[in-house]
């Protein structure tokens, strides 16, 4: 999507999201790299510093006078009204495919971290993670369960091999 040829075929795409910071910053950065337009709505109570960071990445961003759920509904409504692409990592009725892909991405991040620990011969004892709406935490939980299941399976196989020898 970065090449001029592909951008000409696709045209200008506006991506919209609702966030209180981290997700919106990631969307703003990515959309900036794609040379497209980002609109980021942040809920009431969001920190000005985060808003400024998102704007610095080229996004049109604002803090609404609504709490998160209503801010997300506003993003959905404006996406529908303007033909924009909504990129949320939270699901609601009729909107689950993109959030599923976001969680798969979070799962990949966690898996890569676990692979690095495995190379070092380490296992996590605690995982501290920003929970937000739960998608990031859910993605890490799935990876953690798969990672520990693989370790347990490997340990069981080792016990069987030891018993056989």
pLDDT mean for each 10 residues of the chain (165 residues): 77 93 90 94 95 97 95 95 94 86 84 87 79 77 74 51 45
Establish if 122 belongs to a structural domain.
Answer: yes
Tell me whether residue 51 is in a domain.
Answer: yes
If asked whether residues 111 and 150 sit together in one domain, one would say yes
Looking at the domain assignment, is residue 43 inside a domain? yes
Residue 28 lies in a domain: yes
Tell whether 74 is covered by a domain. yes
**Residue 39 CB-half CA count within 13 A:** 18
Q: Is 43 left (phi over 0), alpha (psi -120 to 50) or beta?
A: beta
Same domain, 8 and 67: yes
What does the alpha-carbon distance between residue 48 and residue 122 come to, in Å, rounded to a whole number?
39
- The verdict on 49 and 123 lying in the same domain is no
Q: Are 9 and 82 in the same domain?
A: yes
- CATH number of the domain within which 64 lies: 3.40.50.1100
Q: 57, 88, 119 — which closes off a domain?
A: 88
The pairing of strands 60-63 and 14-18 is unpaired
Q: Looking at the chain, how many residues does it have?
A: 165
Q: Are 41 and 17 in contact (CB under 8 A)?
A: yes
Answer whether residue 93 is part of any domain: no
Give residue 153's domain range: 101-164
Judge whether 150 lies within some domain.
Answer: yes
3-class state of residue 40 by DSSP: strand
The reported pLDDT for the residue numbered 165 is: 38
18 in Cβ contact with 74 (< 8 Å): yes
Same structural domain, 13 and 75: yes
Q: Is residue 138 part of a domain?
A: yes
Number of independent structural domains in the chain:
2
Residue 48 · residue 76 · CB < 8 Å: no
Specify the pLDDT at position 144: 78
Residue at which a domain ends, from 28, 63, 88? 88
């Amino acid at each position: 999507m970065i090449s001029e040829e592909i951008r000409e075929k696709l045209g200008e795409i506006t991506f919209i999201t609702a966030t209180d910071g981290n997700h919106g910053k990631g969307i703003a950065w990515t959309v900036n790299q794609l040379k497209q337009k980002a609109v980021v709505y942040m809920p009431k109570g969001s920190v000005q510093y985060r808003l400024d960071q998102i704007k610095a990445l080229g996004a049109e961003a604002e803090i609404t006078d609504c709490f998160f759920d209503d801010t997300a509904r506003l993003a959905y409504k404006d996406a529908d009204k303007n033909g924009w692409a909504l990129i949320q990592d939270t699901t609601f009725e009729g909107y689950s495919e993109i959030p599923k892909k976001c969680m798969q991405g979070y799962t990949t991040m966690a898996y890569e971290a676990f692979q690095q620990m495995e190379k070092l011969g380490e296992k996590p004892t605690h995982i501290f993670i920003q929970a937000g709406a739960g998608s990031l935490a859910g993605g890490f939980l799935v990876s953690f369960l798969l990672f520990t299941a693989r370790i347990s399976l490997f340990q069981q196989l080792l016990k069987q091999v030891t018993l056989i020898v």
